Amino acid sequence: MTKSATDARSVVVEREIPHPPEKIWRALTQPHLIEEWLMRNDFQPVVGHRFNLRGDWGGVLDCEVLAVEPNKTLSYTWNHTHADAAYNMESVVTFTLSPTRTGTRLRMEQVGFRPDQRQAYGGAKVGWQQTFAKLEQVLARTD
């Protein structure tokens, strides 16, 4: 436990699955199939689409699609707002599918950041969005 409390935390789960990437891709991107293995959702495979994942326990995750590369990569934010801010979770989930001789290697990486690291997460995507939003505000004011 040498990691400092502010380090990004990452979880990797990898599995060889005896099914082709195209089929796994359907399970990862079609709402009625996502619901069967993950959670109820209003997912769409469109970058920028915001959706919720709703857990059986009543929890609701706020998500936004960050990357879609059919049959290869899917990435979205996985954020959870807790009544106690100390338990807020902001993370990015990325699925990577690689074809193998017998099927697919499916890799899931979840990288989490503490709320005070907001600027750092999402491969800086959100940071950039915020930066651009601020830039737009600044530009609007300088008109």
Partner 1 sequence: MPNAPDMLFRTLADPTRRALFERLCRDGEQTVGALTARAGVSQPAVSKHLGVLKQAGLVRDRHEGRQTHYSAQLGALAPLIDWTSQMAGFWQSRFDRLEDLLKRMDQ
Residue (of 57, 60, 41) closest to 49 by Cα position = 41
Three state DSSP letters for 68-118:
EECCCEEEEEEEECCCCHHHCEEEEEEEEEEECCCCEEEEEEEEEECHHHH
Q: Which residues in the 45-74 window bind partner 1 by CB under 8 A? A: none
Is residue 21 part of the contact set for partner 1 (CB under 8 A)? no
Q: Which residues in the 71-90 window bind partner 1 by CB under 8 A? A: 89
For partner 1, how many residues bind (rule: CB under 8 A)?
Answer: 21
Instruction: Tell which one of 6, 11, 52, 133 touches partner 1 (CB under 8 A).
Output: 11
Length of the chain: 143
For residue 2, the Cα-to-chain-centroid distance in whole angstroms is: 26
Strand partners for 108: 13, 95
- Kindly indicate which of the ranges 31-39, 56-64, 69-77, 123-131 contains the residues binding partner 1, using the contact rule CB under 8 A: 31-39
Is residue 36 part of the contact set for partner 1 (CB under 8 A)? yes
Residue number with CB closer to partner 1 (67 or 108): 108
Residue number with CB closer to partner 1 (67 or 89): 89
Is residue 131 part of the contact set for partner 1 (CB under 8 A)? no
Q: How far is CA 26 from CA 22, 65, 86, in A?
A: 7, 16, 36
- Kindly indicate which of the ranges 17-25, 44-52, 115-123, 129-137 contains the residues binding partner 1, using the contact rule CB under 8 A: 17-25
Dihedral of the CA atoms 68, 78, 125, 42 (nearest 10)?
50
Residues at the interface with partner 1 (CB under 8 A): 1, 9-11, 13, 15, 17, 19, 23-24, 26-27, 33, 36-38, 89, 106, 108, 110, 112
